[in-house]
Amino acid sequence: MKSFNLKVEGIRVVGGGSKNKLWNRIRADVLGLPVEMTRFSEATVLGAALTAFKGVGLYKSFDEALKSIDFGIQTYHPKREHHEKYEKYYTMYKDVLRALRPCYEKW
């Protein structure tokens, strides 16, 4: 497997589930990263519309089209104490999984 040296500094969510504030809060806390959502949950439709607007000459470039939009970005920042709890629970989960592995390997 090829390894990449990426530094993830945050996540942007799209789609119907991106509007769920509780899930965004949990995502940020579990991952320990900021989670951003825009006021546009359907990114595919927005991209298609911008492409059409550029195609008919409403915008000269995609950059111009993007600059014309107020994305209304809302950011959920992780809470350190919550992230630490999720890390602890994940470690416990991995320990239980390792302990149970012999039970599954017999099948």
Given this model, what pLDDT does residue 107 score?
A: 64
Q: How far apart are the first and last CA of the chain?
A: 28
Which fold would CATH assign to domain 11-105? Nucleotidyltransferase; domain 5 (3.30.420)
Is 20 buried (19+), middle (13-18) or exposed (0-12) by CB count in 10 A?
A: middle
Mean pLDDT across the stretch 77-99?
96
- 30-49: pLDDT as tens digits: 999 999 999 988 888 999 99
For the chain, what are the domain ranges? 11-105
Closest CA to 75 of 30, 13, 17, 8: 13
